[in-house]
Amino acid sequence: MNERFTGSFTQQEPIPDEGIEAALRVMRSGRLHRYNTLGDELSEAALLEQEFAALMGSTYALAVASGGYAIATALRAVGVRPGDRVLTNAFTLAPVPGAIASVGAQPVFVGVTEALVIDLDDLAAKLDQADVLLLSHMRGHICDMGALMALCDGAGVKVIEDCAHTMGARWNGVPSGRHGVMAAYSTQTYKHANSGEGGLLISDDAELMARAVMLSGSYMLYERHLAAPGPEVFERVKYVTPNISGRMDNLRAAVLRPQLARLRDQCAAWNARYRVVEEGLAGTPGLTVIERPEAEDYVMSSFQFLLLDWSEEAVNQVVQRCADRGVELKWFGGAEPAGFTSRYDSWRYAPSERMPATDRVLKGILDLRLPLTFSLEDCALIARIIRAEVRSVHNQASG
């Protein structure tokens, strides 16, 4: 009899008790707005920024309304203007090109390799087309950051890192987000810290962060931040930086602070689940498991594998057969967007040239979430189901 998985791929862990208690304190006070403080009181949002900067090893941090808002704020802070071109990954999620479009700029898509990272050869060929690279560490896969930064620094291209999927990850010991001039993180429910919706932005550049704080809607209350530049920096930017309000409130900040305190343990738990699925799928005929470089200290709350050069019909069969057994796979290769999955030619507001090598990879990417509500035994069962259904469809096609 075929095994069946009965868990939910969208059920997250409960908020820690400390976060619930902190949120109740904020609600009882009625002072949810980050600048609504009394006397020398420190707001939850300001404390979150201070703690996140310390966690990431950055000089400055800013808490905002969403990861997408954090990216758009970084783009504005570094000087991207309407009509500019911004390099970015062809393999990413819609909020990334959406953030570029939101400032009136045009995405220039860069290819993806079979390792699911940005194609550095394609990047090198396109570096003369833009002054900024918005680098998406899509689904937790980190490219060779030393090689990428050498290319970008040599061409005078500023790098903004989208770390929505790599909070707590490292490349050669350096935290994800610490290579470029700014880095954006998400605290949406399915990310590594959960406030329902929210974002964080870090930088070591005082002027960039002062602009970001003003953009976020600080008015002239920037001195209430604990991880922001000094007032003399704001004097240079405060009259020429628009207010595009997108602040994080104290309620979400209160929920997040205890989660950040336990991030290291959470990352280890996600990676343990990832490795169980990885081991269970290794050696499956027709299925490619992504090889992870030794320099990458990843944080994987999701799992991707490739069915390279499979027909659309065969991939759909795998997706449906796994669904019939309770395993939800998302396919990034479909011609029509579905749920959160889409590909670069889906974003018709951003014209693009065809990239055959990238198209081949995208057509083979299958993805599943690995929430911490899954046990290691659950992950082993999921891998067995995927392995069995991939093998069955592969054998049919081969026969």
12 assigned to some structural domain: no
On whether both 244 and 132 belong to a single domain, the answer is yes
Q: Which residues contact 104 (CB under 8 A, 6 or more apart)?
A: 81, 82, 83, 84
- Using the predicted structure, report yes or no on whether residue 1 has a pLDDT greater than 60: no
**CATH label of the domain that carries residue 338:** 3.90.1150.10
pLDDT one-digit tens code per residue, 360-377: 999 999 999 999 999 999
2 assigned to some structural domain: no
8 assigned to some structural domain: no
On whether both 191 and 283 belong to a single domain, the answer is no
Q: What local confidence, expressed as pLDDT, does residue 399 receive?
A: 65
On whether both 355 and 312 belong to a single domain, the answer is yes
Q: Which two tokens stand for residue 370?
A: 């690995």
Choose the final residue of a domain: 261, 280, 314: 261
On whether both 281 and 252 belong to a single domain, the answer is no
Q: What is the pTM of this model?
A: 0.97
Q: Which residues contact 196 (CB under 8 A, 6 or more apart)?
A: 188, 189, 252
C-alpha separations of 294 from 191, 199, 301, 392 in Å:
24, 29, 19, 33
Report CA dihedral (30, 34, 37, 41) to the nearest 10 degrees: 120
What is the spatial distance between Cα 301 and Cα 140, in angstroms, rounded to a whole number?
8
Q: Mean pLDDT for the chain?
A: 96
On whether both 382 and 305 belong to a single domain, the answer is yes
pLDDT one-digit tens code per residue, 196-207: 999 999 999 999
1 assigned to some structural domain: no
Q: Cβ-count burial of 19 within 10 angstroms (0-12 exposed, 13-18 middle, 19+ buried)?
A: buried
Choose the final residue of a domain: 218, 236, 261: 261
48 assigned to some structural domain: yes
Q: How many domains does the chain have?
A: 2
Q: Which of 101, 128, 236 is nearest to 110 (CA)?
A: 128
On whether both 305 and 372 belong to a single domain, the answer is yes
Choose the final residue of a domain: 261, 292, 322: 261
Average pLDDT over residues 35-58: 96
pLDDT one-digit tens code per residue, 221-248: 999 999 999 999 999 999 999 999 999 9
Q: Is the dihedral of CA 240, 246, 251, 255 positive or negative?
A: negative
On whether both 249 and 343 belong to a single domain, the answer is no
On whether both 308 and 221 belong to a single domain, the answer is no
On whether both 248 and 293 belong to a single domain, the answer is no
C-alpha separations of 302 from 121, 208, 267 in Å:
27, 32, 12
5 assigned to some structural domain: no
Largest CA distance in the chain: 76
On whether both 94 and 176 belong to a single domain, the answer is yes
Helix/strand/coil for 286:
coil
Least confident of 70-74, 133-137, 279-283, 395-399: 395-399
Q: What local confidence, expressed as pLDDT, does residue 97 receive?
A: 96
**For helices 263-281 and 250-261, angle between their N-to-C axes, nearest 10 degrees:** 70
Element (H, E) at 62: strand 60-64
169 assigned to some structural domain: yes
**CATH label of the domain that carries residue 35:** 3.40.640.10
The CA-based angle 199-201-207, given to 5 degrees, is 145
What is the spatial distance between Cα 124 and Cα 57, in angstroms, rounded to a whole number?
29
On whether both 197 and 345 belong to a single domain, the answer is no
On whether both 354 and 388 belong to a single domain, the answer is yes
pLDDT one-digit tens code per residue, 132-185: 999 999 999 999 999 999 999 999 999 999 999 999 999 999 999 999 999 999
The boundaries of the domain holding residue 146 are 17-261
More confident call, 339 vs 59? 59
Helix/strand/coil for 277:
helix
30 assigned to some structural domain: yes
Tokens 């060929």 -> residue: 125
Q: How far apart are the first and last CA of the chain?
A: 24
